Amino acid sequence: MVRSGYTALSILAVCCIATQAGSHIHDCAPCRGEECNKFRTDCPYGVVKNWCEHYVCGQGPGERCGGRHQFGLICGDGMQCNSCKVCTGCSQAMAENGIMLCDNTYCPPNY
């Protein structure tokens, strides 16, 4: 009985250490350069905030998106990331410039 208690305690300790180590993987550094500028002009699909609250260019219609914590793979305003990990909908930033650019990619169920 005492031995199984040590085994359970050992497993718990390993889990706690692994969880603690994993939590530092996504520590965010302070923004630098364009990451701090929410008014940047080099983003055709608009500026969005990433996991670290840095300003990055949004992905456009039909472009890849998603991923773990969506580091840099976030759809621009007016679009959403579908289950195929593709931005769908219409780019609000492009529409504001008089260009209607949309993508309605269909993903099969359970994709």
Q: How confident is the model at residue 7 (pLDDT cuts 50, 70, 90)?
A: low
In a domain, 62, yes or no: yes
Residue 60 tokens, joined: 């456009």
Domain count across the chain: 1
Give the length of the chain: 111
70 in any annotated domain: yes
Confidence (pLDDT) at 34? 87
Q: pLDDT digit string (tens) for 53-69?
A: 999 999 999 999 987 76
Residue 14 belongs to some domain of the structure: no
**14-33 pLDDT per residue, tens:** 344 333 444 445 688 999 99
- State pLDDT tens for residues 67-97: 776 566 899 999 999 888 999 999 999 998 8
Q: What does the DSSP assignment read for the chain?
A: -HHHHHHHHHHHHHHHHHHHHHHTTT--PPP-GGGG-TT-S--TT-EEE-TTS-EEEPB-TTSB---GGGTT--BPTTEEE-TTSBEEEE-HHHHHTT---EE-----TT-
54 lies in a domain? yes
With 0.85 as the threshold, say if the pTM is over it. no
Domain-embedded: residue 13: no
Domain span including residue 60: 32-111
- pLDDT of res. 42: 93
> Residue 33: how many CB atoms within 10 A of its CB?
8
The answer to whether 73 touches 65, Cβ cutoff 8 Å, is yes
41-51 per-position pLDDT tens digit: 999 999 999 88
Q: Which is it for the CA torsion 41, 71, 111, 82, positive or negative?
A: negative
Residue 11 lies in a domain: no
Structure tokens at 54: 């840095």
